[in-house]
Structure 1
Amino acid sequence: MAERLALRGHEVTWWNSTVNHQRKEQRASTTSIADRPEGYKLVLLYGRLYPKNVSFGRIVSQIQNAREFARLAPTLPCPDIILCGYPPIELAEAAVRFAVSQNIPIAIDFRDMWPDIIADHTSGLTRLAAIPALAYWNRSLRYTVRNATAVLGVTDGFVDWALQRGSRRRGPLDRAFHLAINPTPPAKSDIRDAERFWDEMGIASSSDHIIGCFAGTLSHRLDLKTLVQGAVQLPVAEKQRAKLVICGKGDQDEELRRLGRNEKHIVFAGWRTAAEIHVLLRRCHYGIVPYFSTADFVVHYPNKVGEYLGAGLPIMTGLTGLVRSLLEMRGLGYFYSEGDETSVAKCLQLISADRLSFGMKKQKALEVYKELFDPERIYDSFCLHLEHIAATASPQKDVASHRPMAL
């Protein structure tokens, strides 16, 4: 979005945390500002490094981000519009408070159902101890929704959820934009290096293996344990025909490796570069969406859906809701029962037996991708909507002179 808005002639400031959430690394040791060669300004807000996705340390880090934003934003040129991703809760509220104080239109883009999913993952004494924090976050969410100029979301379900939580009716500026993967392909030199990497790993496009993959954060929000246990259950003959590639790091990394340590057909590739994932997807026959069917994911198209379809891959999943409905309707899904390793094993065998249909499904997948997840269409539409919000909120201004601030 920052790049697209800059290409459209806007002055863009992208605010982010110093913490790289996926890699658990610091991008910078203090709050810093830099001009990017892509044509926008990047502000990194200091937050402490935290070891786990669900942790007190992460909450503290997000509070630090919000405080740094509140401190720094008034010292910089005032923008004409703000786009803010949600979560984190704390930064979204800080951005709305700043926007209200300066009479700036602000669009909040809902990508996760916080704090609801936090409450769903606590129980017993932990849930009791979390009551004050949940009460605070719920108040923050209501304030954010009620005072936002526009409520956006990755699906209509997310928009409706946010509006309901803020006791607000849907208006003409409230709408959904599906997640879309950056369409810029990796550099040719990076692709060559990635080709060599996967060749050395034994994941070759010329092999007779049926190759499936998942690439992402290995968090406890994913049903990856069932996936690995199901792959372990496969008959010997099926194991010889299959390759299951799991890329990424996260809270489940060690346990998953232990479960699959004696299985040559299960490959744990660790955290891989964008070019390596690009090449891997084009060597695979199917992608895996192993999310639990929680309230947020059943009304969601996780970014893996568009990523796999864009590579021409059908999808194996235990997820219900929007994803399953889409895949069933388009004939692009292989389904198993969530939490059932025997069901996973049967699903993997079904995929192996279905290999003659991969070519036809590739074409179907690309068609669905162009229809629903094409970044060229989505990003352009998103930019036009932000320009419309800015013009609606400040009709006396020339839209071409607007300087969206992307968060």
Structure 2
Amino acid sequence: MKIWILQTGEPLHIDKNNPRPMRAMNLSNKLVEAGHSVVLWSSDFSHQGKFHRFNKYTTHNINKNLQIRLIPSPGYKSHIGIARLWDHIILGWRLHKLLKQEKNENKPDICFIGYPPIECAYVMGMFAKKADIPYMLDVKDLWPSMLVDALPKFLQPLGRVIFYPLFYMAKKVILNATGISSMAPSFSKWVLNFANKKPTKYDRVFRLTSSPQKLNQEQLEKADLWWSDKNVTNKKPLIMFVGSFMSVFDFKPIARVAKELKHECNFVLAGDGDYLQGIKKMMAGLDNVVFPDRIDYAKIINLSKISIATIAPYKTIESFNMSVPNKIVDSLSFGLPILTPLKGEMANLIKKYNVGFNYNDSKSLKQHILTLINNPQIQKNQATNSKNLYNKDFEFNQVYDSFVSHLEKIAK
């Protein structure tokens, strides 16, 4: 099978420093492993690093069955703003020009299209439709609705007029899709309602998940010594967070609880990001809060082994409430209870499988942490439930083997 994957905004095989694989890399690797030929179309501009990889059209042959094609675009400095929208327009236009030059013998048996950006998804979707090639649309964000929702209420009607082209393209590419894939049932439901599209037998939910890295004993022992040198141990109950400090998180309830429970438990908040310094200031003077900055996988695994829970302090934004974000999946893979304010999809999982607690404010967060500290059996049960849920619904090989099998069926 010959497959094209369109996915911008994710790490690629050619990126330095071993980036954590996401949908595109994971699926490409699994398809190649199954003997299929993959062309991965992406942006030359790195969404994560905010830099141009080569600043020109380039083609990279990773192996005999995997090729990456990069398209240059203007780039942008912020996740939100006119510059990002302009970047997507240029990227879509340049993709359109490239596809017009493709010879018939190079065309794929199926396309897997990441959405957003809408412009690129629309261009690839219309190309596939015209060439009678089936395509699966992988929806990861609530664009363009979330662009309008971000505006003040009185500007939202105007926003719908301004963004009308995006609404048109979005509905068109969804309606023409052979199948819709998403990370959670709520996302799938939103997509179908948004475009007024009926479900098809090819629609599927494929959870976000990552392949666990293999670690040797030496790496684990070094990581253990590293934490010991920082005086991070399990002598006192420990709550962990690992991730990028971004605007999508709310650390204020954690700061209040850390102050009130300074003798009862410690917090390790690991990572980097634009908001790190501000959060450090928020936690100033709290000896029970440790900021080790960005840490590698061995240190993350060791930290999880001495923690009683993870905390995922997402703001209750609609797109997060409708999904199961990476931080949640990581916690399940560690076999740890989850503390999060998320509603919707995540709240349902917590209630159904007893894998943690939902908190609404600092008061309820404090109460849930004390429950885990004072009732070891509850913590142990939730930890076991988390690992069982991960193995049932989120285990990497299970998810991506099913992904490959599904694409094979569509391509037949």
Question: How far did residue 369 of structure 1 move?
Answer: 0.8
Question: How far did residue 107 of structure 1 move?
Answer: 0.5
- CA deviations on 1:255-305 (whole Å, 9 max, x unpaired) are 212211222222333344444434433443211222233333333222222
Question: How far did residue 12 of structure 1 move?
Answer: 0.7
Preserved contact between residue 372 and residue 379 of structure 2 (Cα < 8 Å): no
Partners of 2:154 and 2:76 in 1: CA distance: 23
Partners of 2:36 and 2:50 in 1: CA distance: 32
Amino acid aligned to 1:253: L
**Of 241, 244, 250, which aligns to 1:214?**
241
**1:270: which partner in 2?**
293
**2:68: which partner in 1?**
42
Partners of 1:98 and 1:7 in 2: CA distance: 27
Which secondary structure state, in structure 1, belongs to the residue aligned with residue 241 of structure 2? strand
Q: Which moved more, 1:258-267 or 1:178-187?
A: 178-187
Preserved contact between residue 190 and residue 275 of structure 1 (Cα < 8 Å): yes
**Of 197, 209, 213, which aligns to 1:180?**
209
Q: 1:84-163 residue pairs with structure 2 within 5 A?
A: 84-123=113-152, 127=156, 130-163=159-192
- CA deviations on 1:126-157 (whole Å, 9 max, x unpaired) are 65764444322211211111111211111222
Which secondary structure state, in structure 1, belongs to the residue aligned with residue 267 of structure 2? strand
TM-score by length of 1: 0.84
Which secondary structure state, in structure 1, belongs to the residue aligned with residue 339 of structure 2? strand
Which secondary structure state, in structure 1, belongs to the residue aligned with residue 314 of structure 2? coil
Q: 1:339-378 residue pairs with structure 2 within 5 A?
A: 340-378=361-399
**2:410: which partner in 1?**
389
Amino acid aligned to 2:248: R
**Of 255, 263, 282, which aligns to 1:229?**
255
TM-score by length of 2: 0.84
Preserved contact between residue 171 and residue 194 of structure 2 (Cα < 8 Å): yes
Q: How many residues align?
A: 383
**1:67: which partner in 2?**
93
Partners of 1:187 and 1:362 in 2: CA distance: 24
Partners of 1:201 and 1:215 in 2: CA distance: 16
Preserved contact between residue 258 and residue 267 of structure 2 (Cα < 8 Å): no
Preserved contact between residue 213 and residue 297 of structure 2 (Cα < 8 Å): no
TM-aligned CA distance change 1:385 to 1:62, over 3 Å: same
**1:256: which partner in 2?**
279
Preserved contact between residue 262 and residue 286 of structure 2 (Cα < 8 Å): no
**2:22: which partner in 1?**
none
Partners of 1:24 and 1:203 in 2: CA distance: 33
TM-aligned CA distance change 1:78 to 1:158, over 3 Å: same
**1:168: which partner in 2?**
197
Preserved contact between residue 16 and residue 43 of structure 1 (Cα < 8 Å): yes
Which secondary structure state, in structure 2, belongs to the residue aligned with residue 212 of structure 1? strand
Which secondary structure state, in structure 2, belongs to the residue aligned with residue 296 of structure 1? helix
Q: Which moved more, 1:55-64 or 1:300-309?
A: 55-64
**2:267: which partner in 1?**
243
Partners of 1:35 and 1:192 in 2: CA distance: 37
Amino acid aligned to 1:68: R
Amino acid aligned to 2:405: L
**Of 273, 284, 297, which aligns to 2:320?**
297
Percent of matched pairs sharing the same residue: 22
Preserved contact between residue 118 and residue 166 of structure 2 (Cα < 8 Å): yes
Partners of 1:308 and 1:292 in 2: CA distance: 18
Amino acid aligned to 1:47: S
Question: How far did residue 37 of structure 1 move?
Answer: 5.0
Preserved contact between residue 350 and residue 358 of structure 2 (Cα < 8 Å): no
Preserved contact between residue 18 and residue 45 of structure 1 (Cα < 8 Å): yes
Amino acid aligned to 2:386: A
Partners of 2:246 and 2:132 in 1: CA distance: 39
- CA deviations on 1:16-36 (whole Å, 9 max, x unpaired) are 223333333443332322122
Unaligned ranges ≥5, structure 2: 1-26
TM-aligned CA distance change 1:156 to 1:331, over 3 Å: closer
**Of 353, 357, 365, which aligns to 1:334?**
357
Question: How far did residue 353 of structure 1 move?
Answer: 2.4
Preserved contact between residue 186 and residue 275 of structure 1 (Cα < 8 Å): yes
Amino acid aligned to 2:139: F
Partners of 1:356 and 1:37 in 2: CA distance: 50
Which secondary structure state, in structure 2, belongs to the residue aligned with residue 233 of structure 1? helix
Which secondary structure state, in structure 2, belongs to the residue aligned with residue 70 of structure 1? helix
**1:314: which partner in 2?**
337
Question: How far did residue 194 of structure 1 move?
Answer: 4.5
TM-aligned CA distance change 1:55 to 1:178, over 3 Å: same
Q: Which moved more, 1:158-167 or 1:130-139?
A: 130-139
**Of 38, 41, 55, which aligns to 1:12?**
38
Question: How far did residue 169 of structure 1 move?
Answer: 0.7
Question: How far did residue 373 of structure 1 move?
Answer: 0.8
Preserved contact between residue 221 and residue 292 of structure 1 (Cα < 8 Å): yes
Amino acid aligned to 2:353: R
TM-aligned CA distance change 1:193 to 1:47, over 3 Å: farther
Preserved contact between residue 99 and residue 105 of structure 1 (Cα < 8 Å): yes
Question: How far did residue 172 of structure 1 move?
Answer: 0.9
Q: Which moved more, 1:255-264 or 1:357-366?
A: 357-366
Question: How far did residue 361 of structure 1 move?
Answer: 3.1
Partners of 1:372 and 1:137 in 2: CA distance: 33
Which secondary structure state, in structure 2, belongs to the residue aligned with residue 12 of structure 1? strand
